Chains A and B, each alone.
Chain A
């Protein structure tokens, strides 16, 4: 593995690792946040930080894997980038749909009272 391959492997691996951390934070947030709307923010961390970034990271990582032809690398990386783009476009559509349904059905957001002790 050349230096370029090593750098790409480290960058790709680091992005995937960070994505895993974001998934963990998203799971904690879904448990910790107090209502439906605030939990949606935690879910967004899982959808973007925990899915889009690791997919982009795996597309970068494949260019660092030794012994693959360029066409093999591209046949892995290009669909990954398309999938990441499609998640970026479609994920908020789902969030909008459920958030709008909750808002229009009259679900009130949780409001902090000034001076309230944090949960």
Chain B
């Protein structure tokens, strides 16, 4: 099982190498596996705990679909909302609110935190892993009801993140 974790990181390293250099020469065919192997030996055991998940094509497809949805729908909407606040067209009520979550894996927690922070209007300022709560600085903190806050801030990512990292 552990060996498959190293292989997953090794394959990802080779893929990223070829995407960055965008060419296939004999030099690259020799160097890419070696460099990726070094990276895999350093981080492979830690980064991937369940290689079956990391190598699942279904999860990668969900990841791709989520990225497209995130970049084409979620991000533009949030950018326009905060831009209108900057330009004085919309009011804002900034505060730090507690947002409960129910993820079991660190990957899902980190991916959701990244998604929240990457959208203007919400930034994760701290996390309580025991109480399963994010502390989020929110520009539209008109309510503190955890159910409504959770609905407004993380439910847009929730079903995708669970399909990619948990189910």
Contacts and interface: CB of A to CB of B under 8 A. Distances in A.
Contacts of B139: 38, 41
B86 A109 contact: no
Contacts of B123: 37, 40-41, 44, 95, 99
Contacts of A33: 86
A96 B117 contact: yes
A112 B92 contact: yes
B125 interface: yes
B30 interface: no
Given A37-B137, A40-B123, A45-B79, A28 B20 contact: no
Q: For the complex, would chain B's binding face be called helix, strand, loop or mixed by DSSP majority?
A: mixed
A92 B113 contact: yes
Nearest to A21: B83
Given A49-B75, A103-B126, A25 B87 contact: yes
Contacts of B23: 71, 75
Contact of A99 (B21, B87, B93, B124): B124
B11 to A, nearest CB: 16
A35 B139 CA distance: 12
Interface in A55-102: 56, 71, 74-79, 81-82, 88-89, 91-93, 95-96, 99-100, 102
Nearest to A110: B94
B101 to A, nearest CB: 15
The 9 closest A-B pairs by CB, nearest first: A92-B117, A75-B22, A29-B86, A103-B125, A99-B125, A92-B114, A78-B22, A37-B137, A44-B120
5 contacts: A75-B21, A96-B113, A99-B126, A103-B135, A109-B137
Interface of A: 22, 25-26, 28-29, 32-33, 35, 37-38, 40-42, 44-45, 48-49, 52, 56, 71, 74-79, 81-82, 88-89, 91-93, 95-96, 99-100, 102-104, 109-112, 118
